[in-house]
Amino acid sequence: MGIVEAILLSVITAATPLVLAAAGELVAERSGVLNLGVEGMMIMGAVSAFAATQITGSPYIGVLAGIGAGVLFALLFGFLTLTLVANQVATGLALTLLGLGVSGMLGEGFLGMQGIKLQPITIPLLSQVPFLGPLLFRQDAIFYLSIAVVAGIHWFLFRSRAGLKLRAVGDSHASAHALGVDVVRTRYLAVLFGGACAGLAGAQLSLVYTPQWVENMSAGRGWIALALVVFASWRPWRVVAGGYLFGAVSISQLHAQAFGIGIPSQFLSSLPYLATIIVLILISHNRRMTLINTPASLGKPFVPDR
């Protein structure tokens, strides 16, 4: 295996959780809900996936448990912000704090246990393609899912009637409501989908990236995912571009250090952030397009008049 392939393999592993969590959050934000609890849902996904895998011996049940935990936490968020109309920013922050605390408590019995890795699935024929085959078609199920999820979101948002309604809810909940769209129900579904993606991203951390459980193991990836959504100006494929760019620069800078390139490591460590910001600014330089893509009702509470 060449060094380029080795680097790309590490990049895929590092980028997948970011892409997944950001894609889920993108759907929630497109419906007008800002959920800052991504980190909390992610860490709950990580601990639940690890625990379920240890108990049942099957990482696939672990994946389901991770998704379930993310959905459950998202449901709590939905109840507080959509039904009780609590402040979204404060509730999201609380969700992150709660997730970090609760996951630490739940995970205490699983510390130091030997993890079970989600094994790659080799796709026949495609995996024989030189260079790309081993990279893209000998991956774990969560990687395949991450690409399918983004493609699905793109189709849903821009090609389906339900997606159009969801965007309408995010742009002007009052107008959508007047047209007979159930704003609260749409937002609930979007938030739950976001939770499922964040939970799946968490499962990737504890089953693929580093198959183990340690408290706080998401280490801020939920926040990076949140930033990616904004920088990608709420476009699904740009989330992939941003996530992979971030991953690519993160991994390359480690290689540059190991190679002994002689650039201060603090600067190299900040490169992923810099590069992502610069590139995403460049691709979204068209201010009008950016405004069109920004959900106008983002973060605003909706109380239906009865």
Partner 1 sequence: MKKLLVALATTAAVLGVVSAASAQEKAKVCFVYVGSKTDGGWTQAHDIGRQQVEKELGDKVETQFLENVPEGPDAERAIERLARSGCGLIFTTSFGFMDATIKIAQKFPDVKFEHATGYKTAPNVATYNSRFYEGRYIQGQIAAKMSQKGLAGYIASFPIPEVVMGINSFVIGARSVNPDFKIKVVWANTWFDPGKEADAAKALIDQGVDILTQHTDTTAPMQVAAERGIKAFGQASDMIAAGPQTQLTAIVDTWGAYYVKRTQAFLDGKWESTSSWDGLKDGILTMAPYTNMPDDVKAMAEATEAKIKSGELKPFTGPLNKQDGSPWLKEGETADDGTLLGMNFYVEGVDDKLPQ
CB of 154: closest distance to partner 1 in angstroms? 27
Does residue 89 touch partner 1 according to CB under 8 A?
no
Q: Kindly determine how many residues on this chain lie close enough to bind partner 1 according to the rule CB under 8 A.
A: 52
Near partner 1 in 188-217, by CB under 8 A: 205, 209-212, 214-217
Q: Is residue 80 a contact point for partner 1 (CB under 8 A)?
A: yes
Min dist. Cβ of residue 244 to partner 1 (A): 14
Among 57, 58, 105, 179, binds partner 1 (CB under 8 A): 105
**Cα distance between residue 144 and residue 54, in whole Å:** 23
One-character DSSP codes across the chain: --HHHHHHHHHHHHHHHHHHHHHHHHHHHHTT---TTHHHHHHHHHHHHHHHHHHHS-HHHHHHHHHHHHHHHHHHHHIIIIIS---HHHHHHHHHHHHHHHHHHHHGGGTTPPP-----EEPTTGGGSTTHHHHHSEE-HHHHHHHHHHHHHHHHHHHSHHHHHHHHHHH-HHHHHHTT--HHHHHHHHHHHHHHHHHHHHHHIIIIIS-S--TTTTTTHHHHHHHHHHHTTT-HHHHHHHHHHHHHHHHHHHHHHHHT--S-HHHHHHHHHHHHHHHHHHHT--HHHHHHHS-TTTT-------
Contact flag: residue 97 with partner 1 (CB under 8 A)? yes
| Cα→Cα distances 265→220, 230, 243, 270, Å | 20, 27, 21, 9
Using the rule CB under 8 A, is 114 a contact of partner 1?
yes
Tell which residue, 37, 11, 43, has the closest CA to residue 24. Answer: 37
Q: Is 94 in the site for partner 1 (CB under 8 A)?
A: yes
Segment 217 to 256, residues that bind partner 1, using CB under 8 A: 217, 219-221, 250-251, 254-255
Least Å distance, CB 4 to partner 1, is 10
Q: How far is the CB of 100 from partner 1 (least distance, A)?
A: 8
Among 61, 72, 98, 227, binds partner 1 (CB under 8 A): 98
Using CB under 8 A, pick the residue from 55, 57, 58, 87 that binds partner 1.
87
- Of 57 and 101, the one with the shorter C-beta distance to partner 1 is 101
Query: Which of the residues 260 through 299 are near partner 1 (CB under 8 A)?
Result: 260, 262-266, 269
Q: Which residue in 104, 120, 152, 163 binds partner 1 (CB under 8 A)?
A: 104
Name residues contacting partner 1, limited to 133-162 (CB under 8 A).
none
User: Which spans of this chain sit near partner 1 (rule: CB under 8 A)?
Assistant: 3, 6-7, 10, 14, 80, 84, 86-87, 90-91, 94-95, 97-98, 100-102, 104-105, 108, 111-115, 205, 209-212, 214-217, 219-221, 250-251, 254-255, 257-260, 262-266, 269
